[in-house]
Structure 1
Amino acid sequence: MSQMVEPKPKFQENNYIFHYRRITQEGDWEQIHSHQGIEFLYVHEGNGHLIFDQKLHSVSAGTLLMCQPYQLHKFKMNISRESPYIRTVFVFDPFLFERYAAAFPALHAFFHKIWKARLDQQVFQLNPEDQMLLSQLLQDFHKSLNSCPGLQQTEEVVLFLFTLLREFRKLAEAGQKHASDGSLRTNSRHVEQMMAWIEEHFQEEFSLDRLAESLHLSPYYASHLFSKETGCTLSQYVLAHRLRESRLLLSTTDLTIAQVGQQTGFNSSAYFVKSFKSKMGMTPHTYRKQVNKSFED
């Protein structure tokens, strides 16, 4: 089984990442991550579930996920050679599109909404017609990138973004018409309540007893249920949430490393640095330098 907390991806010079029809064919696949940019992930094939915005969603062919910067999300996919997980991932620096969108007021306003506002819906299950449209759009973009010189790729990315955002706006405005109706119901209420409790208390020392008591569950049952439904332990989820919050503070504030660790629930600066480096592959100081450099560029 593959499980990871993925570090911030390194944008290319033109500030985007595009992985077309990436295939995983063996083993159960789990990943907890967040990105510095805005992410669109489309599932071509595969089955599993997604933890996103403190809710559980079923995932299948035609699922589209849109994530704002630093939104933590976790996929758990059931994979075999007969049932591979095939997805396309597009992540882009929102400042890339910001430069070009001002001439289109309506689209510009929608872009700012999905970038910074609280959204009612970010997981969609597309109907067959929309699946065909998006699949063709992604395929055309993939061909364009492979056939054009490097200096023209930024232009291709921006044109693709205009089309993608127009189509995504239609989905968002349709609301529940295309909403994912695959939220997992069995035991999901307790799991979502646990996630909400962690969101409220992650800055404090984690206590399984306190969490379980707040939900009127036994500690053993709460721990077992969370692991069974999500594929990760409560401790792993708390750590992933703290790391997500710490990356946000490192990127957007001038707090010291020690202050960031303290405000995100780590009981010592040394433990914060050790945990961050173990999961992210770099120290908090190095991460902050890389983020600052990307904004300067």
Structure 2
Amino acid sequence: MKLNPYPYFYKTIPHTPSQMAKEFLFFVHDLGWYQCQPDYRVKRIFQPYSIRLVLRGRGYVVWRGKTHSVSTGQLLLLDLTEEHEYYADPEDPWEIIWVRFGGAQAVDYYRALQCAKNPVLNVRDLVLVRRLFEELVSLFEKRPPGYEFTASSHLTQIFTDAAITLAEHDHSTNRGAPLRYPEHVHQVIQYIEENYRLPLTTEELANHVFISPGYLSRTFKLATSCTVTEYIIKHRLRVAKKLLTQSENSLGEVAQEAGFCSQSYFSKLFKRDEGVSPLLYRRSMKN
């Protein structure tokens, strides 16, 4: 798809997502492509999320009292339920492809990309990301079979590129720190991974870092995208997988070594997360 030759244009493609898409995909409400006039400005509250790629030019977004510049090749990811304002640079008005979307994982990506602080994102592979946006526009113009699945996949690829870019930036600016967590979250994670065999509770972990359980719950979920209990279970399951593939221990011994209170509880959680029983997992990995 080539750039529109006209100086200013606006295209919007509305869509009503299927119930299937709403239940387990990223789903599109509408999307479009526009070249803004120098005086283009929008201020509103809408729903649910939108992501925009600046094809050329420059613009600005006013977000939570701060003004951020958005340039060619950058993304703008907004939670539209919050008041926001964006406008084109009058001397170099932007051209943008945009998608308004929703989905069960939308809030998780929004938090992981730290867009509540700064909604402007960089990308690693601009050629790929631009192609994905252009193909999204084409998909909803033509609506071929399975297009909602393809659209969900395209949005996932876009978010993944932005997430990797952010992780690489954090890694380089923090001298190799693997994740930019608050210090008390780092301490809690370290304590969990050293003491996962114990019957850990949120209250005990909060006492370990001298904060309230409620504050730990909120900040831990914000930083890691999972609750304290979910993290404990995930780490125990990681230990169990290693034991299943690298030892001949019985399932009861694996459950005990990984910190689960019983073999039945371990098997139930394992099958819920992996889709197979621990025994079938062991057999498939060894085969």
Q: Same fold (TM over 0.5)?
A: no
Higher RCO (CA-CA < 8 Å; seq separation 6+): 1
Structure having the higher Rg: 2
Q: Normalising by structure 1, report the TM-score.
A: 0.43
More helix per residue: 1 or 2?
1
